[in-house]
Amino acid sequence: MKFNMISKTEAFTNPDFGCVPEKREINEYISKGVINLDKPSGPTSHEIDSWIKRILHLEKSGHGGTLDPKVTGVLPVGLDAATRVIQLLLTAPKEYVCLLTFHQDVDEDKIRETFKEFTGKIFQLPPVKSAVKRELRTRNIYYSTIYEIDGKDVLFRIGCEAGTYVRTYCHNIGEAIGVGAHMAELRRTQVGSFNEKNNLVTLHDVTDAYHFYLEDGDESFLREAIMPMERAADYLPKIVIKDSAVDAICHGADLACGGIVSLADNIQKNDIVAIETLKGELVASGNALISANEILEADSGFAVNTSKVFMQPKIYPRFW
């Protein structure tokens, strides 16, 4: 999602409190970090979590958006304190590259026509082996681009709403044409703001980076392999707040209009937004109570209903 930041008021941040995410001391940087991992075919997403914990000697980690064992690609993994931030990715848009195989020969024009029909809002019934209730639901397919048709095989890229089952999508296309089809291969290329071009690393990269740090004290490779947890919220519209508002939000308070410095211009009522400090630290997320234009004009009242808090209290002074 693209947006422009617009200013509501001028404010300055005190350098004695908080820290620019990229400049955190290395142990805190790791503990508040996210890895954009290139998942290999074979292990489960939970096995990847366990290996990351073992490699980096962490107490906990968590992934954003489970991938089946045979599926490869983008698997964001939150480390220690950043594990909760990964929850923001559960509703983030996803993108995949898929190889679909028809069970009989199909005319190319018919294939392209059917793919066009399977964009926009579609109905899906989750597969029998799924973590959600098996009932018919709608999902948004933002785009479905065919790259190549080779006999019965179709290579395509799909951008879709969270919770879309690409395996079911392939099956339904086969049913619509009347010849049957199945998903032969799948690779995830994007989850929210994480993609293949954005610091995508392998388990070997993470292992090597950690050993460079332990043996030579070189943090540079580790800082390249791990990103600040704030990157998990980059796809969300942002609201930047004054230092004086930070600690109240850390205690679960709703965000008042008077505490806002700047905000994304496309915020609509009920949108999920990320609340950040002037240094770029992620404080919390919540649901917008009013639109961006209404926030700009308001001198009082509340702008965001805080739902998840990610920053610990007392990092910024208390003003309430």
Q: Which residues belong to the active site? A: 68
State how far the Cα of 86 lies from the Cα of 116, in Å rounded to an integer.
33
Helices (H), the chain: 26-31, 45-56, 108-117, 166-177, 203-216, 220-225, 243-250, 292-297
Joined tokens for residue 245: 């508002």
Question: Rounded CA gap, 233 and 251, in Å?
Answer: 20
Length of the chain: 320
Per DSSP, the three-state class of 142 is strand
CA distances from 5 to 74, 261, 300 (A): 28, 10, 21
Q: How far apart are the first and last CA of the chain?
A: 34
Dist. CA 86–CA 99, nearest whole Å: 28
Distance CA 26, CA 230 (A): 16
Q: In the structure encoding, which two tokens stand for residue 264, read together?
A: 């994304």
Phi, psi of 189 (to 5 degrees): -110, -10
**Residue 270 corresponds to which tokens in the numbers above?**
């009920």
